[in-house]
Structure 1
Amino acid sequence: MKKNGNFIEKLEADIAVAEAELERFRVRGMAFTAEAKDRHDEHVEQLELKIDQINRDLRILKKADEYQWKDLKDGLESGWRELQYELRNAIETFKTESGVAGPHGGDEGPFPYGDLSSHSFAKKKK
C-alpha cells in the first residue's frame, strides 16, 4: 500500500503546483483587454473544472479498495495528463498577449512564469 500512498502524495504535490500556476495565469489575465480577457477567462474556467474533477477523483481513489485502484488510478492519470496539456497550452496561448500598461496592471514583457518544464506537472508521464 506504500506504493499507492506515494502515488497519492506525488499527485497531491503536482496538483498544488498546477493550482499555483493557474492562479498566476488567472492574475495575469486581469490586465488584458476586454476581448483577450474573455478568451482568457474561458480557459481559466475550464482549467478550474478540470482541477476540481481531478481532486474529486483523487478523493474517490483514496477510499478505493485494491480491486478498484488500478482502473481509478488509470483514469486519474489520464485526466492529469489532459490537465497538464491544457494548462501548458493556455499559458503558451497567452504568453505574448499584451496587457494594459499601468503601475498596477499589465506588464511590458513576455509571460512571467519562466520555464515550466522543470515542474513535475509539466513533465510527460509514461
Structure 2
Amino acid sequence: MDERKEYVEKLSAQIVEWDAQIDRLKDKAESATPEERFDYHNTITALQLKRDEAAEKLQGISAATDDEWEDLKTGTEQIWGEVKSILCDAIKKVT
C-alpha cells in the first residue's frame, strides 16, 4: 500500500471517530442546563465546521496528483490539529 493511500485511510478513520465523539457531545448537550447547552452548541458547531473542512482536504488529497498531495498534506495536518484541539477542550469541559 502506498503512503498516500495509508494516509487517506488513517484520516478517514479519524473522521469516523470524530463523528462519534461529536454525537456523544450532542447527547450530553441534551441533558445540560440552558447555559451549558449554549456552550455545547457553539463547540459542536465549531467542531462540525472544522470536521467538514478536514473532510474536504481529505477529498482533495484523494483526487490530487502525486506532486500535489504532499502540499495538501501540510494544510490537512494543520486542520487536523485544530479539530483535535477543539475536541479535547470540549471533552475536558464535560468531564
So what's the TM-score if we normalise by structure 1? 0.72
Letter in 2 for 1:83: V
The count of corresponding residues between Structure 1 and Structure 2 is 95
> For structure 2, which runs of at least 5 residues remain unmatched after alignment?
none
More helix by share: 2
> For structure 1, which runs of at least 5 residues remain unmatched after alignment?
96-126
Structure 2 distance, partners of 1:64, 1:19, is: 25
Residue 22 of structure 2: SS of its match in structure 1?
helix
Residue 7 of structure 1 and its aligned partner are, at CA, apart by: 0.5
Identity %: 28
CA RMSD of aligned residues (A): 1.1
Deviations 1:37-81 (A, max 9, x none): 011100000000010111111111111112211110111011101
Residue 94 of structure 1 and its aligned partner are, at CA, apart by: 2.2
Residue 93 of structure 1 and its aligned partner are, at CA, apart by: 1.4
Structure 1 distance, partners of 2:92, 2:35, is: 17
